[in-house]
Amino acid sequence: MGEARTRITLLNKENIMQKTETIWHNGMLKPWDEMTTHALTHTLHYGGGAFEGIRFYKTDKGPAIFRLKEHTNRWIYSSEVLGMELDYNYQELFDAQVKVVKENNLESGYIRPLTYYGYKELGVAAKGNPVEVLIANWPWGKYLPHDMVDIKVSKYKRISPETTVIDAKICGHYVGGILSAVELDGTHYHEALFLDHDENIAEGGGENFFIVKDKVIHTPSLGHILPGITRATIIEIAKFYGYKVVEEKITLEQALNADEAFFTGTAVEVTPIKSINDQNIGTGNLGEVTAFIKETYDDVVHGRNKDFMKYLTYV
C-alpha cells in the first residue's frame, strides 16, 4: 500500500498544474485567474467537447512545438464530428497556439486546446449552444515518472467504434480512463491496459501500445484505437531506421510473450513497460529496441535529429 501511495504522490508532484499568465479564449487573451465558464455549460454535463494535448520542448533554437499541424487538424476534425461550427479557421487556430506559448514565455511545457459547447440550453442535443474555444499552456513534467511501468489489464473495455467516432479525440471518450484510474488506485500498478470488445489489446488509459518480438515492432491496428500522433511518429521513426513495423490485432498472450513493450503518447512520450498483470515482459529490463526508439524520439522533439525537423514549429 505504501508503494502505491508513493506512486500517486510522485505522479501528482510531477504534474501539478502551474498557472501561467494568460489563456486564449474565443479570440482574446485573458488572465489565468479570470478564466471562468458557466456552471451549466453543456459540455460540463454531457462530455461533448474536443481537445488536444501538445508538448513543446526547449531546443537550441528556442521553444519548439511538436507536430502542431497534425494536432490542429485533428482538433478541428474532432470538433466537426460533434457538429461544432468553428468561428476560426485552421491558420487562426494554429497561430493562436503559437501566440499562447510566446505570451506565457515558457521554454517547454504542454498545450491544451479545447472546443466545447457553452451555456444556453441544457439537453443532450447541443443544437443552438455556442461553441467556445480555449487554448491554455503550462509547464509539465513526465506523465508517468518512472523508468519502466507495471500495468494491469483493466476490467473495463475500450469504447467500441460502433458506439462513437473512434478516431476523434472527444472529452467523453476518457471516462474509461478515469474509471481505470479509480480501479488501480491503492495498487502498485502505474497504468491500465484496455482490451477491445474482441478481447484484443487496444490501448492504455491515455496511450498507444507497442510490443517488440525478435526485433520486429508490433502495434494494434487502427479501428479500435485512437490513431495517436506520437504513435504515427514512432512508426515512421522505426521504419526510417530499418525496423519492421506490423500493425495487427494483438492478443494478451502475444503481449505477455513479447521481448519488450512500451507506451507512446504526447503525455507519456515513450514509456517502457516492465510488466503486465505482474508478469515481466522479456527480462523485465529496458530492451534494445525500446531504448533506441525512446532515445531517438527524445532527440527528434528536442531538435537534435536533423531527419525529422519538419515536425517542429519554432516559437
Which residues have a catalytic role annotated? Answer: 169
By the 8 A CB rule, do 32 and 21 touch? yes
> Grid coordinates representing 210?
507497442
CA–CA dist 274, 95 (Å, integer):
40
Chain position carrying cell 459540455: 43
Cell output for 222: 487502427
Q: 299: how many CB neighbours lie within 10 A of its CB?
A: 15
DSSP 8-class letter at 101: H
Q: How far apart are CA 31 and CA 273, in angstroms?
A: 40
Q: For the packed helices 68-81 and 229-240, what is the interaxial angle rounded to 10 degrees?
A: 140
CB 220 within 8 A of CB 201: yes
Cβ 63 vs Cβ 73: under 8 Å: no
Strand ranges in 178-221 using DSSP code E only, listed in sequence order: 191-195, 201-204, 208-213, 216-220
Distance CA 139, CA 142 (A): 10
